[in-house]
Amino acid sequence: MAQLHATQRSSVSQYSQPSRSISHGINEAYELTDEELIQLVNDSKFQVKVLSIENEILEKAILRLDASLMAGVSQAIELAAKLHSSTSLNVGSFTRSQISRFALAESGTSPSRMLMSPSKGSTRRVDSSAKLGGTIIFGTGPRINVLERSELVSTEMEIVVKNLDRARRNAAKKQALLKAQLEEVGVRVSDIERAEKMFKEDVIVQGWDKIAQRIPAEIWIRFMTEWVKICDSQIGKLRLRTSTLNTQHSKLKGQIRVKAELSESLRPVDFEKLKIENSESEKIIEQKLQQLGELKKMTGDANLNLTIHKKSMMAQNAYLTSILKSIKQKELQTIQLDKERDIIAVQADSLAVKLDEVRKVRGTYEVPDVMDYVLVKAEVTDLKNGIKMLENRLRIQQIALASIHRKIQKQTMLINEPEKK
């Protein structure tokens, strides 16, 4: 009992110290300027934010390690909030409420009993909860240094990152699933619309019997059988595609499993071995690159020579083609010349015959007398003049005949007019 009263007095003194500090802080707050007061409020807000984050991290760490340690913490927090509100309202009422609380503690309801877990099987849990409650309420107990805080924050960040990655993967899977479902719905809608269009065209429009005023059953059955065949073919294609995708998925799973097994069976010696092999392979690659550079130079020279020879060969080919063209032209010219030679030979033969005839005529020809020629020429000119005179007479007679015809027509017209009257 003496120890209990001593602990109660110490706790009362501990509660009285915060009350005095609060009243002293209030008196100091009245002495501060506006800027200092704003800075003090901002600092206190920042400290409250930091403490809330630390409390959240500690709570998550405790729940992750042993959730039974958090039994009764909520009650202790509510009790501390009530005590803080009572101290902010009235310091005297706060002390009286604390005295009444500790009077209740004397009667057997201590804060450690209030924070006890309902299960009485484990006393260790009760002690831990009582210690935790005392630490939170009275501000005593072990403190956490900066290194432990940083470790807790790093572990909590790793857990949060893992949870975010898991949530991201789940969201990606759900997004892919929803996308696939939307695509499936779109395909179904397009298939339904296409089927409706085909049904209207093939059955309702084209299959309508105007005489019977109905759609025959044969058209309906034929349409359904054709549609079932189309569906079966599409289902077969989809099954083949799914089977190929399943085989690819199984292969990828096997590769991932093999890689995981290899990663589990790896040792530091294997990494050193890989480093040595990589260095050797790098040396081989450098040698091959050097050889490749030399081969590139050789190929460049060979390509240069090849281009030169190609150009010369192209020139020779052009010269050869020109020669072949000239040969063909000469052959055509020889053929034409042969034809012309044959024609000329025939013409020469005919001209030779004519020449012989002319020579014969010339041999037998005698030059006539000049006076005979003059007389014949005079007769010809006289005949031509007579022909011209006869032509002039004929023209004059034709003109006279035409005038006589016109006069006859006028007289006939004059004779016919009185008869008509």
Domain boundary residue, one of 95, 123, 143: 143
Q: 357 and 315, same structural domain?
A: yes
257 in any annotated domain: no
pTM of this prediction exceeds 0.85 = no
Is a pLDDT exceeding 80 seen at residue 233? yes
Q: How confident is the model at residue 335 (pLDDT cuts 50, 70, 90)?
A: very high
Q: 302 and 403, same structural domain?
A: no
> What gap in Å lies between CA 88 and CA 13, rounded to an integer?
17
Cα angle for residues 153, 69, 77 (degrees, 5° grid): 80
93 in any annotated domain: yes
Residues 288-320: tens digit of each pLDDT: 999 999 999 999 999 999 999 999 999 999 999
Q: How many domains does the chain have?
A: 3
59 in any annotated domain: no
Q: How confident is the model at residue 30 (pLDDT cuts 50, 70, 90)?
A: low
Q: 346 and 399, same structural domain?
A: no
Q: 10 and 133, same structural domain?
A: yes
Q: 380 and 313, same structural domain?
A: no
> What gap in Å lies between CA 378 and CA 382, rounded to an integer?
6
Average pLDDT for residues 393-403, to the nearest whole number?
Answer: 92
Lowest mean per-residue pLDDT among 102-106, 211-215, 312-316, 354-358: 102-106
Q: Tell me, letter by letter, the H, E, C secondary structure of 322-391.
A: HHHHHHHHHHHHHHHHHHHHHHHHHHHHHHHHHHHHHHHHHHHCCCCCHHHHHHHHHHHHHHHHHHHHHH
Is a pLDDT exceeding 80 seen at residue 347? yes
Domain region containing 378: 371-421
Q: 402 and 337, same structural domain?
A: no
Q: 319 and 302, same structural domain?
A: yes
Q: 349 and 308, same structural domain?
A: yes
Element at 300 (helix H, strand E): helix 268-364
375 in any annotated domain: yes
Q: 89 and 17, same structural domain?
A: yes
Task: Give Cβ neighbours of residue 39 (< 8 Å, ≥ 6 apart).
Answer: none
260 in any annotated domain: no
Domain boundary residue, one of 109, 124, 143: 143
User: How does DSSP assign 192-250, residue by residue?
Assistant: HHHHHHHHIIIIIITT-BTTTTB--HHHHHHHHHHHHHHHHHHHHHHHHHHHHHHHHHH
> What gap in Å lies between CA 274 and CA 229, rounded to an integer?
58
Average pLDDT for residues 393-408, to the nearest whole number?
Answer: 91
Residues 365-390: tens digit of each pLDDT: 676 677 888 888 899 999 999 999 99
Return the bridge partners of 209, or none.
214
What pLDDT score was predicted for residue 89?
52
Q: 376 and 419, same structural domain?
A: yes
89 in any annotated domain: yes
Q: 403 and 380, same structural domain?
A: yes
* Number of residues that this document lists for the chain: 421
Cα→Cα distances 64→70, 158, 199, Å: 11, 13, 63
What pLDDT score was predicted for residue 287?
93
What pLDDT score was predicted for residue 28?
55
Q: Which two tokens stand for residue 131?
A: 């210690």
Q: 82 and 6, same structural domain?
A: yes
Percent pLDDT > 70 in the chain is: 76
285 in any annotated domain: no
Domain boundary residue, one of 143, 178, 197: 143
Residues 112-168: tens digit of each pLDDT: 333 333 333 333 333 433 333 333 444 444 567 778 878 888 888 888 899 999 999
334 in any annotated domain: yes
